[in-house]
Amino acid sequence: MKGLKPLLVVIFFTLLLYWGIEPYAHSKLNPHVDPANYDFAAEDITLAKTNVEKAEENVEKAEENVKKAEKSGLEDMIKNAKLDLDNANSNLDKYSAFWDEINQIDLTKGDAATGAETFLMAGCTACHGVESAGMPAPLGAMDASQAYGVNPPDLSIAGKIFDDKFLAALIKDPVMAQKLDHKFGDEVPYPMPGFFGVGGDVNQELADIVAYLKSIVPSDDGIVELYANKMVAKGELNENDKTKFIDGLNKNDKENIINKVIYADACQRCHDMKYDDVYADGDKLSIAAYLGSTPPDLSMYIRSRSKEFLHNFLNDTQKMLPGTAMPRVGLNQESEAKVIEYMENIGDSKKAERESLSIYIMIYFVILAVFAGLWKRKVWSNLH
């Protein structure tokens, strides 16, 4: 019985650390945010309102601190807090007005045929390729990233991975849609200009372009074929073996390829995934200069960050890391899940095996503890 008291003390402090201190520290290092919201208009306005509330609280705290201190020279504290509040209110007004404009677009009336013409007239193909429509990119990845800072994406599956409303917002004003107005503006223009129309009703033209981009999205088998074509172009696959390669894929293989293609569209233009021998699609020095720092390799992000963090971060980068130069990715819920599934498959492929094995390890330690207790009682029985 003498060993029971120390054991209980150890158990108590272990549980205190695990259920008390660790969650508290986590809550301070990772403050609670609202869950990912795929209605981007509601997401942006809610976050803007939250920032206004926080700024108002900071103003009140600053005023209280100055009163308590009863010292001069602290006026800057209030001044800065009020400046933050003004900025928060300005952002709320700005995003409310922006999404009000987007909500006025009737995306159900988009015409794909007209959208194809508008797409060409607007000059989109000057930067973007559309492989599914037989339009290759005008520049290679290295040349494009050196010219623009980052390689403009191929738009073959844009209509699949983006929500209709977000896609319209992205075309109309990419800076606002991607929440990069703190980085780009009149003095530092964004490489992709906003869409101001080609002479007709701008809202109708936006609806037509969205309809066109949705109409050219290939089927799942088509996405796999596009992937195989890229392998041929890179010399990783012989043209004569392409059909054999595709025919040899099972359902799971095709799903993994689709996940990888969506990841490439969403992340690979800036980020490496070294565990899968996938590297940033462009000149790394240009990408680093464009973003202000070298984007991290994502191989282990599925383990160093939680799934919840990744969902929230991809959904709205500014919510999780205010001021970051990384644009909002803007994926719809299905595509975002596929990106995270790909990251998990590459960075944590043994997760299922590890989780299934853990129960047996726990059972082992329980049995070990029982035998250790019996052994201790036998050895020490004569001394008690």
Is residue 331 domain-shared with residue 367, that is, in the same domain? no
Is residue 188 domain-shared with residue 164, that is, in the same domain? yes
Is residue 210 domain-shared with residue 150, that is, in the same domain? yes
152 domain residue, yes or no:
yes
Q: Which of 104, 131, 152 is the last residue of a domain?
A: 104
12 domain residue, yes or no:
no
Is residue 282 domain-shared with residue 294, that is, in the same domain? yes
Q: Which of 74, 104, 134 is the last residue of a domain?
A: 104
pLDDT digits (tens, 9 = 90+) for 60-87: 887 777 676 555 556 677 788 888 889 9
Distance CA 181, CA 186 (A): 10
Is residue 323 domain-shared with residue 365, that is, in the same domain? no
Q: Which of 89, 104, 119 is the last residue of a domain?
A: 104
233 domain residue, yes or no:
no
10-residue stretch averages of pLDDT, the chain, 384 residues long: 72 80 73 82 90 87 71 69 89 95 95 96 95 92 94 95 95 96 89 93 97 96 93 86 90 95 95 94 93 93 89 92 92 95 91 85 90 83 68
Is residue 70 domain-shared with residue 134, that is, in the same domain? no
Domain range enclosing 327: 105-217+250-349
| Model pLDDT, residue 350 | 83
Total domains, the chain:
3
| Model pLDDT, residue 73 | 56
